[in-house]
Structure 1
Amino acid sequence: MQSLVTLVLVLMPLFIGFAIPSNPTLTKIADNSLSYLVFIILGLIGIELAQVEGLGSQVGEIALYVTILSILTIGTGLFGLMLFDRLRPWHAKKPSVKSKEHRVSIRGSLTQVICVVIGFVIGYFLPASYMPPENTMTVMLMLLILLVGIGLKGSGITLKEVLLNKRGVEMSIIFTLSVLVGGLIFALMFSDVSWTKGMALASGLGWYSLSAIVMTDAYGAIWGSVALFNDLIREFFALIFIPVFMRKYPSAAVGLGGATSLDFTLPIIQQSGGLKVVPLAISFGFIINIVAPVLMVMFSALG
Structure 2
Amino acid sequence: MQNLLTLFIILIPLFAGFCIPVPARAVSWLNIGLSWLVYLILFLIGLSLAQVPNLGDELAVISFTVAVLFLCLISTNLLLFIWFDRRYPWHLQQQQTATQSGDISIMGSLKQVACLLLGLTAGHFFSFSWLGNPQAAVNKALIILLLLVGMQLRSCGITLRQVFLNRRGVICAILFTLASLLGGLLFALLMPNVSISKGLALSSGYGWYSLSSIIMSKSYGAVWGSIAMFNDLAREFFALLFIPLLMRRYPTAAVSIGGATSLDFTLPAIQASGGISAVPLAISFGFIVNLTAPVLMVFFSSLNF
Same fold, judged at TM 0.5 (above): yes
- Whether the 8 Å CA contact 2:97–2:273 is kept in 1: the answer is no
Task: Show the counterpart of 1:301.
Answer: 302
Q: CA, structure 1 residues 201+270, in 2 after alignment: closer, same or farther (shift >3 Å)?
A: same
Q: Which moved more, 1:132-141 or 1:68-77?
A: 132-141
CA distance in 2, matches of 1:102, 1:266: 13
101, 104, 108: which one aligns with 2:102: 104
- Whether the 8 Å CA contact 2:92–2:278 is kept in 1: the answer is yes
Task: Show the counterpart of 2:264.
Answer: 263
CA distance in 1, matches of 2:298, 2:277: 34
Task: Show the counterpart of 1:168.
Answer: 169
RMSD value, Cα? 1.4
- 1:1-303 alignment runs, 5 A limit: 1-95=1-95, 102-105=100-103, 106-127=106-127, 129-133=129-133, 135-303=136-304
Q: CA deviation at 1:137?
A: 1.7
- Whether the 8 Å CA contact 1:102–1:267 is kept in 2: the answer is no
CA distance in 2, matches of 1:57, 1:260: 32
SS at match of 1:302: coil
Q: CA deviation at 1:124?
A: 0.9
**Structure 2 alignment gaps of length 5 or more:** none
- Whether the 8 Å CA contact 1:93–1:274 is kept in 2: the answer is yes
The AA in structure 2 aligned to 1:112 is Q
TM-score normalised by structure 1 residue count: 0.96
- How many residue pairs end up in the alignment? 301
Q: CA deviation at 1:19?
A: 1.5
Q: CA deviation at 1:191?
A: 2.5
Q: Deviations over 1:216-245 (max 9, x none)?
A: 111111001100110111111111101111
Q: Deviations over 1:180-218 (max 9, x none)?
A: 110111111122111111111111101111111111111
TM-score normalised by structure 2 residue count: 0.95
Q: CA, structure 1 residues 283+102, in 2 after alignment: closer, same or farther (shift >3 Å)?
A: farther
Q: Percent identity?
A: 52
Q: CA deviation at 1:131?
A: 3.9
The AA in structure 1 aligned to 2:84 is F
SS at match of 1:264: coil
SS at match of 2:89: coil
Q: CA deviation at 1:102?
A: 4.0
SS at match of 2:205: coil
CA distance in 2, matches of 1:219, 1:30: 32
